[in-house]
Structure 1
Amino acid sequence: MNYKIIDRDTYYRKGVFRHFSEDCKCSTSMTARIDVTDLFEYSKKTKTKFYINFLYILSKVLNSREDYRMGYLWETDELICYDEINPIQYVFHEDTETCTPVYTKYFEDYEKFYANALNDIEKAKQTRDYGLDMANHPNWFDASYISWLSYDSLNIELPDGYLFFAPIVNWGRYRKENGRFLMPVTVRLNHAIADGYLVANVFRLLEQELKCFSS
């Protein structure tokens, strides 16, 4: 885990950061449906898991820009940017109706990431422990698939004043509309380090990477 310290005096979002980390501590989130038809067809053709393929694309997008890799060190009151962030995915256990967090390391190499994520999932299926360990995984972001519903909106609340900068991303079941598969995706970011443009930009980048990956 490596990171660089951001100089707040020269930070390009200096004024916005100060306002939303001191005066008006809050988050911003958006839900939109994205077209995953090509990824669906690719996964079917290659006999790979759609879920892991999307997780890879999402991880690649969130690592592509510093704004999505920000962090805050409480002990030293420092704003930082991690060299990379990794997804916390989840395994749902039907018998207990509980989830196990799965810490999966991001690799830009798709095949390496895919094999690693698949292995992590299989290991998690063998336990029923919750096993959340955020203290030792500061540069991990939440990536949670809500498999039971193709929802229209979702909101995740964090306590006021909680400067949690890691992205929180959820997505639901895709559904067919006019011959295309559309999937709801929700992106939550702390307003101190991201505004509406940066949240919306995640969807734009996802669409670009989906097209590139599936082709």
Structure 2
Amino acid sequence: MTNPVPVDLSTYPRREHFAHYRDVVPCTYSMTAEIEVTRFVTAIKATSRRSYISQIWALASIVNTHDEFRMTVTDSGALAVWPSLDPSFTIFHPAQETFSSVWVPFDEDFGAFHEAAARTIEDYADATALFPQGPPPGNMFNVSSLPWTSFTGFTLHIDEGSKHLAPIFTLGRYVERDGRTLLPITAQVHHAVADGFHTSRLLNELQEMFAEPSWLGD
């Protein structure tokens, strides 16, 4: 894991916003959108790929293109940006009605990432620990899935959430409407590092990826 790179606050364009929304008015927000995944769902049925893993990779690939979603605060209290973030995601255990949180290193090669993630899910399918791989690394963001229900809003209430700068994504059950397939997704974001503009851009880029799913391969 590469160390985060310190941010020069003297040239950081969000220095006032960061100070205000982290220290004066600590503020996180959530944004829920329905992303059209009609072509994605059709395409993935023709492959051996898994939808959940593919969704995670799509999110990770976009998160890793934007500094604002890779921000962290170091132990010394300095603002820094990770060179890259790895996705941490949940695996549900029906027998116990619990879940485990696992992570896989991000790989720009979708096929390589898919293989590693599928192997990780298989390895920990029967795990009972919350973090079966051990303590989570610092350079990660979280993804969870609620395939049992769709939703139009979802909010996490995080104690001392002003210290958590990485985004958190929650995926819902597909919705069929007017011949289109929609994926509910909520992004939980820290206002100190990202505004609605930045989150909207991320969600729009995710929409573009699902509209052109040639990256799925065979």
Q: Smaller-chain TM-score range?
A: over 0.9
Which aligned pairs between 1:49-198 and structure 2 lie closer than 5 A?
Answer: 49-73=50-74, 75-131=75-131, 136-160=136-160, 162-198=162-198
For 1:27, the equivalent position in structure 2 comes to 28
Query: How has the CA–CA distance of structure 1 residues 148 and 116 changed in structure 2, closer, same or farther, with 3 Å as cutoff?
Result: same
Q: 1:39–1:140: structure 2 CA closer, same or farther, 3 Å change rule?
A: same
- TM, length-normalised to structure 2: 0.93
Question: Residue by residue, what CA displacement relative to the aligned partner does 1:134-156 show, whole Å, maximum 9, x if unpaired?
Answer: 85511111100111101111001
Asked if the contact 2:38/2:211 (under 8 Å) is kept, the reply is no
Partner of 1:199: 199
Find the residue that maps to 1:162 and give its secondary structure.
Answer: helix
Tell me the amino acid that sits aligned with residue 13 of structure 2. Y
Cα distance in 2 for partners of 1:161, 1:53 equals 28
TM-aligned CA deviation for residue 160 of structure 1: 4.3
The answer for unaligned runs of 5 or more in structure 1 is: none
What root-mean-square deviation, in Å, do the aligned CA atoms of Structure 1 and Structure 2 show?
A: 1.6
Instruction: Report the alpha carbon displacement of residue 18 of structure 1 after superposing the two structures with TM.
Output: 1.0
Q: What is the rounded CA distance, in whole Å, between the counterparts of 1:144 and 1:72 in structure 2?
A: 23
**Greater mean alpha carbon deviation, residues 166-175 or residues 125-134:** 125-134
Q: Aligned equivalents of 2:160 and 2:100: distance in 1?
A: 27
SS at match of 2:56: helix
Q: Distance in 1 between matches of 2:11 and 2:194?
A: 16
TM-score under structure 1 normalisation?
0.94
Cα distance change, pair 195–128 in 1 and its aligned pair in 2 (3 A): same
**Number of positions where the alignment pairs a residue of Structure 1 with one of Structure 2:** 214
Q: Aligned partners of 2:132, 2:123: CA distance in 1, in Å?
A: 15
Match of 1:8 in 2: 9
Cα distance in 1 for partners of 2:23, 2:162 equals: 11
Stretches of structure 2 that go unaligned for 5 or more consecutive residues are: none
1:161, distance to aligned residue in structure 2 (A): 6.1
